[in-house]
Amino acid sequence: MNALEPALRKWYVPQELYYEFGWLQWQYTNYARELYRRYTDIGLEGYKYYDIYGNYITRGWKIYEWVQDMPKDFGSTIFKSPKFQSWFDNLLISSTRKGQYYTALTVGDQIRTVFTPLTFSKPTFNGLQLDFLSDKYALTVLASRANYPGVKLDRDDSPPSAFTDFTNFVGLRGTIQLGRFVEVGATYVNAHLVNSTIDWADYSLKGRLTTAQNSTRVRTIMIRLSDDSPEDGEGGAMLFAEQIFIDGRPADIRPEIRGGIMREGRYEANGNMQMILVYDLTKWFYVDEKGQPVDASKFKKVAFELVLANDFKVEITSNAQVNELGQPIFLTVVRAPGNIKDATNQQVVYFEYGLPTANEIYGVTFELRDLAGFSLRAEYDVNNRYRRFPIPNPEIREHSVSSDKSEAWYVTLQKLAYPW
């Protein structure tokens, strides 16, 4: 530092020796017990940080910051300082403990994270993991901006990675130890689309349509029926009847049927054969309760009923569900269990159309460890997949949501013969 009058230096120059080292002018220096620490350039000590009221907090570097500000364009920002990689090798860990209680916060690009075999297991999780552990309880919280987790910046003053449309991932896993042998747990994981221009009050774990998803009006919907076991060449999808519903009303729209074969008054698709039902929504409208005409630009909900039998597989797409080349992307709606070939499973299949917005799994686990040589592990989970119908109409703020539900479970039993 340059020479300065002591009175001015006291008030206008940071008192680094006092704040950092606790040195006082009149104190005798003895380094026998507390060893001497060399002078550090104050330029290497980072920046001063203050709270929202202007009170000084600390001095240091901002290594990682994740902010979600809504409603706002580019409302999701992640900042990763160059030091995140160079100093910390892409891994930050903060931990504390008191008695039997342990807590750790981990921020990294490649964290090995496992919940259960049926819910979540990822060797390179990119995000935040908060863990708590005690003698009886254990809890883990995960959070990540899954599709854009942020990249290392070149400079500390570089702008953060900001997006308006993104995918948030959250996960929860907790366990309770019951006695010596039994542990019971619960799990919840969810990945959902977010648009930062919506208000926090409209935030939903069922997801929201992104700007790109909600930019195209649905004019044409295509349903593909095929054989779920094409290798046997027989007993494929059998279509007896179909009906489309728009905003809860039966619509008089007859589909164009491509492929398949007509046999005894019904359509069939066996082996590698495919049958596609094409619905043109622009040819139909209705008059609502207020006497106003409603056309395809204002449809809020489109659903289908199909009477099917045998080993069928149902997939769906639309003109709004395409890849970068404009090619349709078919997503599976339902598949027939087993490989029925005699039409004894004839049934009505109902489903609603929408673009995927969220996927969640929740469930419970039970584990019995080493009781008289026996160990048992069981898990039951429910998977919900959410969709919303796109309406690029500024007058319509809420989009109808539909979902598919699946269940999965397993039980394993192990016996250790020795020394029992």
> Does one domain contain both 287 and 361?
no
User: CA torsion sign, 60 to 62 to 63 to 64?
Assistant: positive
> Does one domain contain both 329 and 367?
no
- Residue 53 falls inside a structural domain: no
The DSSP result for 368-417, as a single string, is EEEETTEEEEEEEEEEEEEEE-----TT-----EEEEEEEEEEEEEEE--
- Residue 269 falls inside a structural domain: yes
> Does one domain contain both 310 and 374?
no
Domain edge (last residue) among 318, 335, 351:
351
Q: What is the pLDDT along the chain (420 residues), one digit of tens a residue?
A: 455 555 555 555 555 566 666 666 677 888 898 887 776 665 567 788 888 898 888 888 899 999 999 999 999 999 999 999 998 999 999 999 999 999 999 999 999 999 999 999 999 999 999 999 999 999 999 999 999 998 878 888 889 999 999 999 999 999 999 999 999 999 999 999 999 999 998 999 999 999 999 999 999 999 999 999 999 888 899 999 999 999 999 999 999 999 999 988 899 999 999 999 999 999 899 999 989 999 988 899 999 999 999 999 999 999 999 998 989 999 999 999 999 999 999 999 999 999 999 999 999 999 999 898 899 999 999 999 999 999 987 777 789 999 999 999 999 999 988 765
> Does one domain contain both 347 and 359?
no
> Does one domain contain both 379 and 332?
no
- Residue 204 falls inside a structural domain: yes
Domain edge (last residue) among 322, 351, 380:
351
Domain around 116: 63-217+353-420
- Residue 136 falls inside a structural domain: yes
> Does one domain contain both 253 and 208?
no
> Does one domain contain both 339 and 406?
no
Q: Which pTM does this prediction carry?
A: 0.84
> Of 402, 396, 399, 391, which Cα lies nearest the Cα of 218?
391
